[in-house]
């Protein structure tokens, strides 16, 4: 691919334009994986990874609240190419160590530029190039503007805004005399020892945070509007432990345990569609075993939706329930009426007092990293496009987005998309094409255009809030992100790159 110093609309003084064949956005688990696959599958391709933050890790670097850990097992959340040797559920620190090893072992550090935030991306069909405006933050806090050009943009920026979490607007927050904290911006100086704490929310973050702080606090109240499904088990993998005892090679253990985990997860996912009531009862039974028959499971732990319509949060070793049983933590299922001077009044009239209120209310979905996109000087609205297999978008050339799975580990798809990108780049080279653009075929003309995800299939609040911002989906496999790893693991590697969905120029 060619070198270029393409001009852009805003003049930059004394700034050289740097060109790479492929530009990867974000050094989270997807971006580091992309860099690995590009290096190994397409050696000789020039590339950089631009990362807005000051280090790698993405989600695992941003979140620093006590107890932060995965809720997927690392045999599948880890990459397929690097064995995971720790406990299945890992802390952020363990995940960062693992990612750091991938970077060091493959000499990827030379390609990553930290504190480089991309603000604008413009495609020029005349030059077949993306031009990116980048703000670089220097050690002294000052910034400089840089410009990069690239033939291919690989979006590994995740799906939510890192700078700030989502906090709904509640009446009376200004009256509360204690501290309000969002877990995504956990303050270094937050002292919760001996304090009364309310955690608003009941997702994975609340379930992780509460057992981690409960012992030190006077009391923690989990205040939830509606319940979540939880499943609980030992944080150990029996098969992995047995294979280790037999001194089986770690590469084999990784592959075998991955297959077993995926086999079991497939069965559970199928049950959620074929026998939702049975699965629901099994999940509730698990909670009952921890909390006892006297606990009001119906009110606090029986969601109104089908299992897996939202993520099922994993509780390793039942730690959340141990906190509730010991009396250090409690659950209130009610809606917030108003914040008060001393805490929260609920709609049913309960007065909950607190010194600290933690809003574990989730994140703000961000479509493609809050970057202003243009194609040939026209501002691009991603919600006006249709997705090609949940990776590319109609009318948007030379761009792939990594969007993982909800019911399976994100990284499974990051690996699959990486293979796809490397195959596509090879295909373009073979064809002598400089541009690949998804386009609807004549037979797709009357295809119904649907939201990115079917709410019947999966409907967490952050998706429901932002669905209108996301690209559309068709009703054919080529035009959707199926959210089905077990189908996609065969479909994506075999996808016909010449079936008319991709136009080459
Ligand atoms: C607390 C928490 C726990 C989770 N646990 C799991 C789990 O157990 N299993 C699972 O499958 N999923 C989990 N997820 C979902 C999780 O986000 C993904 O699995 C995965 O970490 C996403 O990786 P990523 O690299 O695609 O994106 P991210 O981790 O979001 O990283 C994206 C990177 O891109 C950078 N970036 C974004 N925009 C720009 C820009 N304009 N310029 C430059 N850089 C930019 C960001 O700074 C960030 O470093 C969890 C999410 C959260 C919030």
Q: In this structure, what is the dihedral angle of CA atoms 92, 94, 95, 100, given to the nearest 10 degrees?
A: 120
Q: Is 361 helix (H, G, I), strand (E, B) or coil?
A: coil
Mean predicted confidence (pLDDT) in 129-141: 97
Q: Probe ligand 1: pick from 59, 72, 115, max atoms within 8 Å of CB? A: 59
Q: How far is the CA of 434 from the centre of ligand 1 (A)?
A: 30
Q: Which atom of ligand 1 is nearest to the CA of 371?
A: 41
Q: Which two tokens stand for residue 477?
A: 């496999």
Q: Which two tokens stand for residue 395?
A: 């009318």
> Please, which residues bridge with residue 69 across strands?
91
Q: How far is the CA of 157 from the centre of ligand 1 (A)?
A: 7
pLDDT digits (tens, 9 = 90+) for 49-84: 999 999 999 999 999 999 999 989 999 999 999 999
pLDDT digits (tens, 9 = 90+) for 11-38: 454 467 999 999 999 999 999 999 999 9
Mean predicted confidence (pLDDT) in 302-326: 89
Q: How far is the CA of 483 from the centre of ligand 1 (A)?
A: 17
Q: Give the chain's count of helices (H) and strands (E).
A: 13, 25
Q: Which atom of ligand 1 is nearest to the CA of 159?
A: 30
Residues with CB under 6 A from ligand 1: 25-31, 50-53, 58-59, 63, 70-72, 77, 117-118, 156-158, 162, 205, 363, 369-371, 402, 404, 409-410
Burial, 211: exposed, middle or buried (Cβ in 10 Å; 0-12, 13-18, 19+)? Answer: buried
DSSP secondary structure letter of residue 334: -
> Is pLDDT above 70 for 90?
yes
Is domain 3-162+365-499 given the CATH code 3.50.50.60 in the classification? yes
pLDDT band at 3 (very low <50, low <70, confident <90, very high): very low
The rounded distance, in Å, linking the Cα atoms of 198 and 221 is 5
Q: Computed from CA positions of residues 64, 67, 70, 74, in that sequence, does the dihedral angle turn out positive or negative? A: positive
Protein residue with its CA nearest to atom 48 in ligand 1: 58
The rounded distance, in Å, linking the Cα atoms of 349 and 351 is 6
Q: ∠ CA 235-240-245 to the nearest 5 degrees?
A: 115
Q: Which atom of ligand 1 is nearest to the CA of 59?
A: 29
What is the distance of C-alpha 106 from the center of its chain? Answer: 24
Every domain of the chain with CATH number 3.50.50.60 lies at 3-162+365-499, 167-361
Q: How far is the CA of 59 from the centre of ligand 1 (A)?
A: 4
Q: What class has domain 167-361?
A: alpha beta
Q: How far is the CA of 403 from the centre of ligand 1 (A)?
A: 10
Lowest mean pLDDT among 202-211, 302-311, 332-341: 302-311
Protein residue with its CA nearest to atom 49 in ligand 1: 58
Share of the chain above pLDDT 90, in %: 85
Q: How far is the CA of 159 from the centre of ligand 1 (A)?
A: 7
How many other CB atoms are found less than 10 A from the CB of residue 432? 7
pLDDT band at 454 (very low <50, low <70, confident <90, very high): confident
Q: Answer whether 243's CB lies under 8 Å from 253's CB.
A: yes
Q: How far is the CA of 108 from the centre of ligand 1 (A)?
A: 19
Q: Which atom of ligand 1 is nearest to the CA of 405?
A: 11
Q: Answer whether 410's CB lies under 8 Å from 29's CB.
A: yes
Q: Which two tokens stand for residue 254?
A: 């990784």
Mean predicted confidence (pLDDT) in 84-90: 96
């Amino acid at each position: 691919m060619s070198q270029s110093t393409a001009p852009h609309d805003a003049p930059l003084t004394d700034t050289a334009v740097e060109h790479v064949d492929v530009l990867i956005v974000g050094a989270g688990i997807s971006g580091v994986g992309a860099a690995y696959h590009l290096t190994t599958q397409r050696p000789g391709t020039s590339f950089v990874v631009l990362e807005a933050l000051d280090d790698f890790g993405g989600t695992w670097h941003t979140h620093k609240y006590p107890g932060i850990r995965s809720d997927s097992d690392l045999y599948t959340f880890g990459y397929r190419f690097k064995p995971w040797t720790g406990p299945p559920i890992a802390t952020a620190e363990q995940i960062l160590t693992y990612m750091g090893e991938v970077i060091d072992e493959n000499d990827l550090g030379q390609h990553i530029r930290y504190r480089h935030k991309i603000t604008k991306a413009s495609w020029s069909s005349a030059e077949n190039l993306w031009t990116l405006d980048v703000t670089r933050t220097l050690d002294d806090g000052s910034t400089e503007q840089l410009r990069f050009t690239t033939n291919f943009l690989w979006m590994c920026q995740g799906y939510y805004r890192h700078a700030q979490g989502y906090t709904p607007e509640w009446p009376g927050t200004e009256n509360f005399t204690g501290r309000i904290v969002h877990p995504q911006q956990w303050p270094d100086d937050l002292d919760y020892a001996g304090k009364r704490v309310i955690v608003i929310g009941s997702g994975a973050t609340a379930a992780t945070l509460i057992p981690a702080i409960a012992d030190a606090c006077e009391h923690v109240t989990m205040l939830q509007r509606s319940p979540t499904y939880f499943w609980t088990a030992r944080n150990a993998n029996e098969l992995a432990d047995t294979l280790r005892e037999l001194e089986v090679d770690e590469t084999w253990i990784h592959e075998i345990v991955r297959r077993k985990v995926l086999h079991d997860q497939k069965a559970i996912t199928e049950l959620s569609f074929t026998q939702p009531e049975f699965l629901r009862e099994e999940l509730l039974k698990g909670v009952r075993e921890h909390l006892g028959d006297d606990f009001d499971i119906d009110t606090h732990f029986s969601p109104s939706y089908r299992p897996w319509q939202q993520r099922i949060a994993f509780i390793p070793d039942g730690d959340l329930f141990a906190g509730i049983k010991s009396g250090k933590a409690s659950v209130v299922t009610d809606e917030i009426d108003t914040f008060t001077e001393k805490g929260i009044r609920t709609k049913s009239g309960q007065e909950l007092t607190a010194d600290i209120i933690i809003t574990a209310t989730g994140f703000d979905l961000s479509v493609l990293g809050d970057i202003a996109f243009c194609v040939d000087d026209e501002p691009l609205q991603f919600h006006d496009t249709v997705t090609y297999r949940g990776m590319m978008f109609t009318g948007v050339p030379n761009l792939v987005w990594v969007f993982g799975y909800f019911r399976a580990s994100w990284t499974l798809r990051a690996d699959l998309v990486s293979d796809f990108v490397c195959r596509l780049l090879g295909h373009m080279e073979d064809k002598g094409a400089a541009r690949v653009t998804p386009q609807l075929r004549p037979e797709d003309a009357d295809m119904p255009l649907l939201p990115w995800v079917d709410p019947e299939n999966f409907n967490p609040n952050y998706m429901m809030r932002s669905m209108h911002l996301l690209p559309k989906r068709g009703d054919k496999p080529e035009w959707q992100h199926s959210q089905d790893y077990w189908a996609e693991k065969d479909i994506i590697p075999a996808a016909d790159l010449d079936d008319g969905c991709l136009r080459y120029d």
